[in-house]
Structure formats: structure tokens, C-alpha cells
Amino acid sequence: MQTRAPDEIRARHSLLQRLGDELDRRHCTSRLFRCRDHRWALRVGHETVFCAGAEGVYAYVTRQGIILSPADDTGITAAATHLTAQAR
């Protein structure tokens, strides 16, 4: 079993929370939850989004392994646009 540093878990949680906030601003329902393996995930409609990466370089990835965007300021907007288009 691979362990993650607590600061890395907090960073992923924070980035998913920011994406959830952006989706809320766009009136798209989302829910942040913690999986059984202690990973954070964001549920948007039928899509589940994770924050993948390490050492400060993160990306939003779906359960199927599709990379939505980098997890930076412009990437949050791109991922939110993609997810709101799918949810409607």
C-alpha cells in the first residue's frame, strides 16, 4: 500500500474544493466525498473526478482516466466548463 503525505492530501482536497466552488457558481450540483481508500473525489452528475499528480503538479482526472485539465486557475475553468456541459 502506498502512503501519501498529509500535505499532498490537503492539496488535492483543496483543489477539488475549488473546482466544486466553481461548479456551484455555475449552478451545477457537485458533492465532495472521501473514498474508502482515503482519496478525495468530486461527484458531478454521473462523473467522478479525482485530483492526480504529485509534488505540486496536479491534474483533474475522471474515474475512466481521462485528463480534464491541469489543476491550476485556468484549468479549473476548463474542467468546470467540460463538466457542466456533460451534466446538462
The whole-number mean pLDDT for each consecutive block of 10 residues of the chain, a chain of 88 residues, reads 75 96 96 92 95 92 95 93 86
Task: List alpha helices for 3-72, DSSP H.
Answer: 6-25
Report the half-sphere exposure of 53 (CA within 13 A, side-chain side).
21
pLDDT at 1: 46
